[in-house]
Structures are given as C-alpha cells and as structure tokens.
Amino acid sequence: MLEENKLSRRQILSGLGASLAVATVGPVLSAEGAIGAAEPAAEPLKDPTTAYPKPPFKSQQQPWPGLASKMEPLPDHGEKSYKGSGRLKGRKALITGGDSGMGRAAAIAYAREGADVAINYLPAEEADAKEVIALIKAAGQKAVAIPGDLRDEAFCKKLVEEAVRQLGGLDIVVSNAARQQQRQSILDLSTEDFDATMKTNIYAPFWIIKAALPHLKPGSAIIGTTSEQATDPSADLYDYAQTKAATTNYVRSLAKQLAPKGIRVNGVAPGPIWTPLQVSGGATQEKLVKFGGDTPMKRPGQPAELAGIYVLLADPLASYATGQVYGSSGGAGMP
C-alpha cells in the first residue's frame, strides 16, 4: 500500500478525533470508499474505574530514587498492553527519567510507534533501565542507555551530544525526570534539599533544551512533564510544587519562542500516579496507603494510562498543538 494512501486515511480520521486515541485498530477505507475498521476486531470497552488497583495500598518505603520493580503492586507501564501503529516511525527521542514511571511508559510507547529511543536515569536505577532497554529492542528499535546525574550542567550537555551521536539525530525531547521529597514544614527543608529539587526540575530542563535546540529541525517536539501541583500545590511539597509551576510556565514561554521555528512545546500534567517517586520519599506513608483515593476515580493512575498523551504530543498529527498542558488526573485537579 502506498504511504500517501496511509497518510490520507490517517488525516481523514484525525478530523474525527481518532488521533487522540491510542489506536489499536488500523483504520481503512473499504472497497466502497467508506471509513471502516480493519482486523483485529475492536477491544471490549474497559471501565477505567475498575481497570487498575485501588487503595488501600501496602505501606512501603524505598531509598530515593526507588525502583519500579520493587513496588507492590507493580506499576503498569504498558509492557503487555501498548500496541503501536507507526505514528512515530523514523523519529529519534531522548527521554529523561526513562527507566520508570511516565518516562518508561513513553519509552515503550515511542519504540512501539517506530521511534529509536535514548533514556537517561540515575546509576542507582540501572536494574529498571535494563528492562526498558530490552523492551525498546524487543520493539525492533535502537535503544540507548545514558546514565548520569542531571544536576550537573556538563553532564546535561554530554547527555544530549551522546543521544544525538548514538541515535544519529534528535526530533523528540521528553524532559520528564524530577525530584520530589515531601517535607511537613518549610523549617525541615534544607538549602541542600531545595537546591537539589531546583537543579533537577528547573535547571536540567534548561540545560538539556539549550543543548538540544541546535539539533531540532522544524517538526520536532519538546514535551515537559509538569503536574497538577503547578496550580494546586500540596502543603508538604513547597519546593517541588513551585518547580512544576515553573515547568508549566516554561512550556508556554518556549512554545511562543519556538513556534516560528516549527518546534512544538507541550506539557503533560499528571495527577497521582503509581511510580517510584511516590514510594521513595515523595509521599508520606499515610498518603501512600490512601494514594489516589481522593480523586473522582478513587484510584491512582498508572503510567501506561499516560502513554497515549506523550505519543499524541510528539505525533505530527497534532501539528497545531503547542504551548498546551494536557492533564491526566482521574477527574481531579487542573493542568
């Protein structure tokens, strides 16, 4: 089948809003020219309120930054469920925090959509990262592992250079890594703590995007992971929440700056999601046991449930969307 034909079918369907879904069924024009569905048959409807675990959760604590493989229950990053349909074929993506959580879900989805993927993570997360590298390779794509600490400007520059060198270019940058450590009082927050949060969540994206920009051609996409904390900060996340307000803000500023260059910049604003960040000091044990229970869906989200959003924001089908923040919070919060 001609590539042009495939494209025109996708364009037709995007007008119907189908591009928002993570397509598991390839749309086709029937012999008569009507829009129909090809095999395999549609998946049965799934109730999102009962699709994933609900609180109460087991009390659990890991040292920062934590491992997904040690969480109970294990998070779902789409390992068994995400099906691609060539939406990012030929693209080259760098994802920070790609070992676990939202970064891992994006890495799996991007690879299954046809992209080569480089991931960054802390050396302590090598075990999680190895699983992701194997999953990217299993999707038939190039997988690049670049461990290192993003609080170091020289490393951030090296990370981008390495990703460009090993991938042979760069089209998608997902700035997703972050540090979150709850503190009951501002009096318990040390200058070292505050500095580590600012370096990881604000300085690193600045350093990485600056280093990446000369490599990004028109059509490229930058995606930042922000949070509902940007607009509705928790009392015990004084430092973290303000970095997320900064993230939402830089997405909107950079989108205006880079739109004339054909580079889109968007954000994803999750609500409570079941990831290592929460079990390694991000939340109190009291909050963890009830995690996500106060959302209208009465449960936390799983990283896999955000994969389609990261794909959408990188997909050229969303070429007019820039400067947007896309929420995913089980009905609570504001992006």
Angle, helices 153-167/204-212, rounded to nearest 10 degrees: 40
Closer CB to ligand NAD, 53 or 272, in the complex: 272
By three-state DSSP, how is residue 268 classified?
Answer: strand
Cα–Cα distances (Å) from 331 to 217, 233, 270, 309, in that order, read: 36, 17, 11, 16
| 177 binding partner (options ligand NAD, Mg ion, none; Cβ < 5 to 8 Å by kind) | ligand NAD
Closer CB to ligand NAD, 145 or 150, in the complex: 150
| 113 binding partner (options Mg ion, ligand NAD, none; Cβ < 5 to 8 Å by kind) | none
Task: Find the catalytic residue in 240, 250, 310, 326.
Answer: 240
Shortest distance, CB of residue 67 to Mg ion, whole angstroms? 7
Opening angle at CA 144, ends 138 and 147, nearest 5: 125
114 φ, ψ (degrees, to nearest 5): 100, 10
| 151 binding partner (options Mg ion, ligand NAD, none; Cβ < 5 to 8 Å by kind) | ligand NAD
What contacts 182, CB < 8 A, 6 or more positions away?
234, 236, 237, 240, 281, 282, 283, 284, 287
For residue 153, count CB atoms less than 10 angstroms from its CB and return exposed for 0-12, middle for 13-18, buried for 19 or more. Answer: middle
Residue that has been written with the tokens 């390694």 in this structure: 280
Does 250 participate in catalysis according to the annotation? no
Shortest distance, CB of residue 121 to ligand NAD, whole angstroms? 4
- The Cα–Cα gap between 146 and 149 comes to 10
| 225 binding partner (options ligand NAD, Mg ion, none; Cβ < 5 to 8 Å by kind) | ligand NAD
Shortest distance, CB of residue 148 to ligand NAD, whole angstroms? 7
Closer CB to ligand NAD, 23 or 309, in the complex: 309
| 181 binding partner (options Mg ion, ligand NAD, none; Cβ < 5 to 8 Å by kind) | none
Shortest distance, CB of residue 195 to Mg ion, whole angstroms? 21
Closer CB to ligand NAD, 27 or 65, in the complex: 65
How many CB atoms sit inside 10 A of residue 295's CB?
Answer: 18
Closer CB to Mg ion, 89 or 130, in the complex: 130
| 227 binding partner (options ligand NAD, Mg ion, none; Cβ < 5 to 8 Å by kind) | ligand NAD
Local structure of residue 301 (DSSP, 8 states): B
> Where on the chain is the footprint of Mg ion (CB under 5 A)?
99-100, 125, 276
Please give the residue whose beta carbon sits closest to ligand NAD in the complex: 101
- The Cα–Cα gap between 196 and 149 comes to 11
> Where on the chain is the footprint of ligand NAD (CB under 6 A)?
65-66, 97, 99-103, 120-122, 125, 149-151, 176-180, 200, 225, 227, 270, 272-273, 275-278
Shortest distance, CB of residue 225 to Mg ion, whole angstroms? 13
Cα–Cα distances (Å) from 134 to 84, 89, 325, in that order, read: 17, 19, 31
Shortest distance, CB of residue 122 to ligand NAD, whole angstroms? 5
- The Cα–Cα gap between 55 and 44 comes to 25
- The Cα–Cα gap between 242 and 237 comes to 8
Please give the residue whose beta carbon sits closest to Mg ion in the complex: 100
Closer CB to ligand NAD, 150 or 164, in the complex: 150
Residues belonging to the active site: 240
